[in-house]
Every structure is written in C-alpha cells, then in structure tokens.
C-alpha cells in the first residue's frame, strides 16, 4: 500500500543532519548538486521515508538504509548495472531479490553492500535499485543463489507515492 501517512518540512537542524547523512551514505554532496540550498520535504509511508528535493522525490529510506529512487537519474546513471532476463522482470517488479540465474550481464565493478541499478534485458529500462550481497567478481561467477537485495522497484510504495506527489 502506498498511502502517504505524513508530509512535513524538516526544521533547519534536522535538514542539515539529513543532508550530511545523505552525503555520507550515498557519496554525494546534495547542496552542490542543486547549486543552492534545496527545499526539502519528508514524506512518510507505512514502510518508507521519502525525501523530496525541490518537488522531486530523489531519496528514500527503509530500515535505516538510504537509497536513490528510480527518479534520481543523475545518481542512477553512475551506478553499476545488473541486466536481468525478461523472465526475471515480473519477479523483480514484485519485490523479489535478484537471483544469479536471472542475470544476463553485469556492468561495472562493486563491493558487497554497494548499490546497483537493475535493468531489463530487452529495453534497458530501470526496474529496481538493489544492494549487492557479494562483490562484482563473485557475482560474475555465481551460478545460483541470491546476489542482490531489492530495495526499491517499479510499483512499490515509494514508486506509487512518488507518482502521487
């Protein structure tokens, strides 16, 4: 369910801490990215907090894990890419983790715990943001098992709440 529970603008001190946390966690400087101090709104759903920068939902948080939304194209373009076959697409879009047999190609290098972008094989469309459970070398050689934890995907509550904003 994507029902928005609460929307609010953080106080100055909370906003400063949030921007520092995002910069540290995602390795970006949010203030530099926007060339000025961005207007930040926090939108809460049952499971997620979504951080809206200048009316665009760019970052979300779940269980203490910060990750970019599928709308944050500037950040997503720099992430390593995992291409899955078309048989895996409906599962990934329903929140399933990415399993080794569904992976067609891995682009880029990453360490365990890194964020990756999951794309479909046919259209190269972004399906999900996932967290690597293994490094890129192990992911390339693995033939079975769960390799990526799905954090955010097309049609989840972050996606639907973002469309509503």
Q: Is the pLDDT of residue 57 over 90?
A: yes
Confidence of residue 61 (pLDDT cuts 50, 70, 90): very high
Confidence of residue 70 (pLDDT cuts 50, 70, 90): very high
pLDDT at 124: 96
pLDDT at 29: 80
Q: What angle do CA 154, 32, 72 make, to 5 degrees?
A: 5
Mean pLDDT of the chain: 93
Domain locations in the chain as residue ranges: 4-73+159-164, 75-154
Question: 36-45, 55-64, 75-84: lowest mean pLDDT where?
Answer: 36-45
Q: Is the pLDDT of residue 2 over 60?
A: no
Domain 4-73+159-164 has CATH 3.10.450.120: yes
Question: 19-33, 84-98, 110-124, 134-148: lowest mean pLDDT where?
Answer: 19-33
pLDDT at 1: 47
Higher pLDDT among residues 163 and 69, named by residue: 69
Same CATH fold, 75-154 and 4-73+159-164?
no
Taking CA atoms, 8 is separated from 30, 40, 118, in Å, by: 19, 9, 31
pLDDT tens digits, one per residue of 12-47: 999 989 999 999 999 988 777 776 778 999 999 989
Q: Single out the residue of 148, 145, 152 nearest to residue 136, CA to CA.
A: 148
Q: Is the pTM of this model over 0.85?
A: yes
CATH of domain 75-154: 2.30.130.10
HSE of 109, CA atoms in CB hemisphere, 13 A: 1
* CA distance linking residue 128 with residue 94, whole number of Å: 10
* Residue at token pair 């269980």: 63
């Amino acid at each position: 369910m994507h029902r928005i529970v609460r929307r609010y603008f953080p106080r100055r001190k909370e906003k400063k801490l949030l921007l520092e946390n995002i910069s540290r966690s995602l390795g970006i400087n949010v203030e530099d990215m926007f060339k000025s101090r961005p207007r930040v709104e926090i939108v809460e759903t049952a499971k997620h907090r979504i951080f809206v920068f200048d009316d665009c939902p760019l970052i979300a948080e779940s269980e203490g894990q910060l990750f970019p939304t599928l709308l944050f194209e500037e950040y997503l373009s720099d992430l390593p890419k995992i291409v899955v076959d078309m048989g895996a697409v409906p599962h990934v879009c329903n929140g399933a983790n990415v399993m080794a047999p569904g992976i067609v190609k891995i682009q880029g290098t990453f360490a365990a715990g890194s964020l990756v972008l999951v794309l479909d094989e046919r259209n190269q469309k972004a399906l999900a943001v996932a967290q690597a459970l293994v490094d890129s070398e192990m992911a390339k050689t693995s033939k079975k098992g769960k390799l990526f934890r799905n954090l955010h995907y097309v049609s989840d509550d972050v996606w639907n709440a973002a469309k509503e904003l």
